[in-house]
Amino acid sequence: MSNSEIRQALGSAKIELLEDYPTDPRGHSALFLGFTLLGEPLHAVIGLASETMLFVTVYRPYPAKWYDWRVRRK
């Protein structure tokens, strides 16, 4: 994925908070969902412990692991 796709997906007002990790050993973080201009989903774990946005990881979610990109399959 490109930096442009990441900006499209995570810079949108439509970004969704999926999971909150307040006790993450690295500091408070959360999993977010966003979509590129082509409608492709991206997940990002973002550190929330400071004023600077820290991307822990950004990835394309696997359909077999997610319902509607929002809920983990068991």
| Boundaries of every domain in the chain | 3-68
Q: What sections of 1-74 are H helices per DSSP?
A: 3-10
Residue-level pLDDT at 49: 80
The tens digit of pLDDT for each residue in 11-68 reads: 988 899 999 999 998 889 999 999 999 999 999 999 988 788 788 999 999 999 999 9
pTM (2 d.p.): 0.89
User: For residues 33 and 26, what is the distance between their CA atoms, to the nearest angstrom?
Assistant: 20
